[in-house]
Amino acid sequence: MRVTLLCPAVAVVAWLGAAGAGTDFQATLNAAMGPYYAALVASSRGNVEATQRQILLFASAWDAVVRQGRAGAPPALAADPGWDDVLARGLAAIRSARERVRRRDVTGAHSDLESIRLALRDIRGRHGLLIFDDHLTDYHDAMERAVGHVGGRNEIRLRPGDFDDIHEDVQTAREAWRAAEATAGGRATSPGWAAAVQHLRTSLDAADRAALGRDPDATTRAVEVLHDRYYDLLGVLAHSR
């Protein structure tokens, strides 16, 4: 299923047009996203110690989000009955992730962490307030769907329908990435951003060409690279806030 994206300019205007307190809150939330993305990268790579360290940093930053979030969020979010639940679910997900890492279950911790941005994307989308992080979430979801078609295939060959689905997933990812770039703001000046973006665009093109060419080996390799380039970008974002 394709994701329908709001016009980035409309979303940004709506978000920045909220009360000044909302802008202050967004700065607090931005500050939390650095260790959040760092924790996603570390957990995706199975690094227990780094995951634990970044979750601790994120937990402290999320506490600040919760403190400001109930009074300082944009009016549309603050008035939504589900907003307090999003903040509380973030705290619960962090607690669960920390416990999973203690048991060295970084895969489970990664899943807990992913639930936070999914909840944020859902409620901001409900009010037409999508921002960079939400478009990046849409990109991630489309990319992961493409990965799902090639993961664990080994001796099993891709079917014609898989190539079609991968092509559609890559197109959805490309659309989401365009929206993300349009709302990147100051991140576009971060060290490593330009190179990471160029590699990401190149990997999108390669995956699409391979899928359209019905080449199973090339498609598998290209989609795996697409996955790696996404986490390279998260690594840049982890240090950009």
Residue 142 structure tokens: 């489309």
Residue 17 CA to residue 12 CA, distance in Å, equals 8
Q: Is there a contact between 146 and 226 (Cβ–Cβ < 8 Å)?
A: yes
Confidence of residue 19 (pLDDT cuts 50, 70, 90): very low
pLDDT at 20 over 90: no
The 10s digit of each residue's pLDDT in 26-40 is: 899 999 999 999 999
So what's the pLDDT on residue 1?
A: 37
When pLDDT is averaged across residues 65-74 and rounded to a whole number, the result is 91
Q: What is the DSSP letter of 191?
A: T
- Six token digits for residue 182: 């349009």
> Model confidence over 106-162: pLDDT tens digits?
999 999 999 999 999 999 999 999 999 999 999 999 999 999 999 765 556 788 999
- Tell me the CATH number for domain 132-237: 1.20.120.290
pLDDT tens for each residue of 177-236: 999 999 999 999 999 999 999 999 999 999 999 999 999 999 999 999 999 999 999 999
Question: DSSP string spanning 206-240?
Answer: HHHHHHHTT-HHHHHHHHHHHHHHHHHHHHHHTT-
Three-state secondary structure along 37-71? HHHHHHHHCCCHHHHHHHHHHHHHHHHHHHHHHHH
Classify 47 in phi/psi space as left (phi over 0), alpha (psi -120 to 50) or beta: beta
pLDDT at 7 > cutoff 50: no
Q: How far is CA 210 from the centre of its chain?
A: 25
Distance from C-alpha of 232 to C-alpha of 230, rounded to nearest angstrom: 5
Answer for the pair 135, 8: CB distance below 8 angstroms, yes or no. yes
Q: Do domains 8-126 and 132-237 have the same CATH topology?
A: yes
Residue 221 CB-density burial (10 A; 0-12 exposed, 13-18 middle, 19+ buried): middle
Q: How many CB atoms are located within 10 Å of the residue 2 CB?
A: 10
What is the residue-averaged pLDDT of the chain? 90
**Residue 152: predicted pLDDT:** 62
Domain ranges of the chain: 8-126, 132-237
User: Is the pLDDT higher at 188 or at 14?
Assistant: 188
65-79 mean pLDDT: 92
Residue 15 confidence (pLDDT) above 60: no
Please tell me the predicted confidence (pLDDT) of residue 71: 86
CA angle 47, 237, 196 (to 5 degrees): 95
Q: Element (H or E) spanning 143, and its range?
A: helix 132-150
Per the model's pLDDT, the better-predicted residue between 100 and 71 turns out to be: 100
Q: How confident is the model at residue 93 (pLDDT cuts 50, 70, 90)?
A: very high
Domain 8-126: assigned CATH number: 1.20.120
User: Is the confidence at residue 23, as pLDDT, over 80?
Assistant: no
Which residue in this structure is represented by tokens 């939504």? 80
